[in-house]
Amino acid sequence: MEIVQVLAFGLLLGGVYALLASGVTLIFGVLDVVNVAQGAFLVFSALFTWQIWDAFGVEPLLLIPVMGFLMGVLGWGIYRGMVMRVAPQGPGMTVLLMFGVALTLEGILNLIFGNKFKSVTPPYFTESFTIGQLVIPLPQLISGVLGFLILGGIYAYLRLSWAGRALRASAQNKDGAALVGISSVKSASFAFAIGAATAGVGGVLLSIMYPIYPATQYDWIARLLGIVVLGGFGSIPGAVIGSLILGMTEAFANTYLPQWSSLFFYGTILLILLFRPHGLMGAKTREDVA
Amino acid sequence: MSDVVLTMTDVEAGYGGGLVLQGLSLELERGTITCIVGPNGAGKSTVLRVISGLLKPNTGSVVLGGQPIGGLPPAAILKAGVAQVPQNRALFDGMSVHENVLMGGYLIRRQRSLLHERLEMVGDLIPIVRERAHDKAGNLSGGQRRMVEIGRALMLDPSVILMDEPSLGLDPKSVAKVAELIREVASTGRTVLLVEQNVRLGMNLATHGVVMEQGTVRLSGEAAGIADNPEIATMYLGKAGG
């Protein structure tokens, strides 16, 4: 029974990771920008969720659309104000820029929240969902299920809406997109906004799962980049598969060899990349965003 | 009344500091197929880039149906009625053939009935768009890709279609099919301007020809006349000079 429990944990963790990593891979697919500030966006959202919950007692899950929207607007502004100007200098410069954005956000968060762990603990924080012998903490269950549902919504939006099709077209062939009248600036801004919005939503989910403080952005961006590299940069299906593999790996390691958890997480990435250097779906379908 | 659809007058354009087009003037008549030929570096593809708005002319004018379009953004020129089928792979490989053609109507996406009407029109004209509707564009052969690219360009019902090397990389059978489709497109009143390295094919296909050299038009007229010009025949068609 323990193995089923571990599998369930891994699946749910994978759902949260998939949502978080999809934002990084979407931004890369459309803009060729590695958004190393995604971890900082995530922590920014989680800490503001904590602040609102702590000050007003608002149910954190109700903040999902709010934080998603606010981070989307912030992402749009960062793209229009900074990334768009620096992008012509090449991908190296945009990585440096986003690293600067991450450090600035971390500095702001340190000033506001201090370098202390914050935990959002709604009434269901210590409750569990039980089926037979399977016991799953409610925060993990809620976050994992919502992670899958929101990612499914984003996926459907990318596939079925004109805006989503325009994003996919831009990701697959920028010249082809321009030929049918798709504005590269609008597509890029929209992709950056959606990518940042996933961090906004993900931050709320993380806030009920883990204690957060500003410097945890490094841990999160390392994980997200690991997932995206494993799945293949630019591929959302790749990010989902990578997330599930690493979610399972982490769940198994946490259960049987907790002190080796990080080693297993990054060791799995290394091992797979030895055999698939372009990631699981990178070589053939890197452009197949969504 | 003149049947001229597009006019370029004294156009100068280039990249960086250098001028590629040096005072080029050109007229395209409705329903014609005009083929531009010339040596490498003559500025053939640059003509297409200037008309489609991918390159702004330094001086001179580009007029479409009485409206100046020179220097407008590509989307505005597309909306005005100029579509382009480029030389390089321009389809969205991860999308289906249907989605690729649908994306050709991106600018009329809110006019659903018109969009549907255009999809039907393209499907009638290019059967492969229906036959392979659900296949990924990345799985199509070179000739099939070119047909879908032309279908996508037709979604906005353009008055002028620009084609850069439509026969490039295609086998003879596919070249014949693409040529037939281009003739069919022109027969509906649309004007086609193409750049073609395969001069023999281009001149056979075209109604009019333009010979470019060093960024200007050296010779223009009916394709048959151009092909019969002894100097041109020697230089581009491999015939013995007269």
Give pLDDT tens digits for B74-103: 889 999 999 999 887 889 998 999 999 999
Give domain status of residue B134, yes or no. Answer: no
State the DSSP code for A212.
B
Q: Above 90 in pLDDT, residue A184?
A: no
Contact assessment for residue A118 and residue A209, using Cβ atoms and an 8 Å cutoff: no
Q: Given this model, what pLDDT does residue B205 score?
A: 92
Residue numbers of A between 161 and 220 with CB closer than 8 Å to B? 162, 165-166, 168-169, 172-173, 175-183
Mean pLDDT of A36-62: 96
Number of neighbouring beta carbons within 10 Å of residue B238:
9
Q: Given this model, what pLDDT does residue A286 score?
A: 40
Give domain status of residue B73, yes or no. Answer: yes
Q: Above 80 in pLDDT, residue A283?
A: no
Count of domains in chain B? 1
Residue B199 pLDDT class (50, 70, 90 cuts):
confident
- Residue B8's domain comprises 4-88+160-236
Q: Given this model, what pLDDT does residue A234 score?
A: 82
User: Following DSSP, what letter does each residue of A13-73 receive, concatenated?
Assistant: HHHHHHHHHHHHHHHHHHH----TTHHHHHHHHHHHHHHHHHHH---GGGGHHHHHHHHHH
Give domain status of residue B31, yes or no. Answer: yes
Using a 10 angstrom Cβ sphere, with 0-12 exposed, 13-18 middle and 19 or more buried, the burial of residue A274 is: exposed
CATH 1.10.3470 fits A2-285, yes or no: yes
Give domain status of residue B150, yes or no. Answer: no
Contact assessment for residue A86 and residue A75, using Cβ atoms and an 8 Å cutoff: no
Residue B237 pLDDT class (50, 70, 90 cuts):
low
Contacts of B91 in chain A (CB under 8 A): 173, 176
User: Following DSSP, what letter does each residue of B54-101 receive, concatenated?
Assistant: SS--SEEEEEETTEE-TT--HHHHHHHTEEEE-SS--S-TTSBHHHHH
Q: In whole angstroms, how far apart are CA B155 and each of A10, A213, B26, B34, B138?
A: 47, 53, 26, 21, 20
Contact assessment for residue B219 and residue B229, using Cβ atoms and an 8 Å cutoff: yes
The shortest CB-CB distance from A179 to any of B79, B84, B94 is to B84
The shortest CB-CB distance from B95 to any of A172, A181, A182 is to A172
Scored b (16 or more CB within 10 A) or e, A136-174 reads bbbbbbbbbebbbebbeebbeebeeeeebbbbbbbbbbb
Q: In this structure, what CATH number is given to the domain that contains residue B218?
A: 3.40.50.300
Give domain status of residue B209, yes or no. Answer: yes
Give domain status of residue B50, yes or no. Answer: yes
**Inter-chain CB proximity B90 and A183 less than 8 Å:** no
Query: What residues does each domain of chain A span?
Result: 2-285
Residue B239 pLDDT class (50, 70, 90 cuts):
low
Mean pLDDT of B192-205: 89
Half-sphere exposure for B220 (CA within 13 Å, toward CB): 15
Number of helices (H) and strands (E) in chain A: give both, helices first.
Answer: 13, 2
Give domain status of residue B183, yes or no. Answer: yes
pLDDT tens digit sequence for A97-109: 999 999 999 999 9
Q: Above 60 in pLDDT, residue A200?
A: yes
Give domain status of residue B43, yes or no. Answer: yes
Residue A118 backbone dihedrals phi, psi, to 5 degrees:
-125, 135
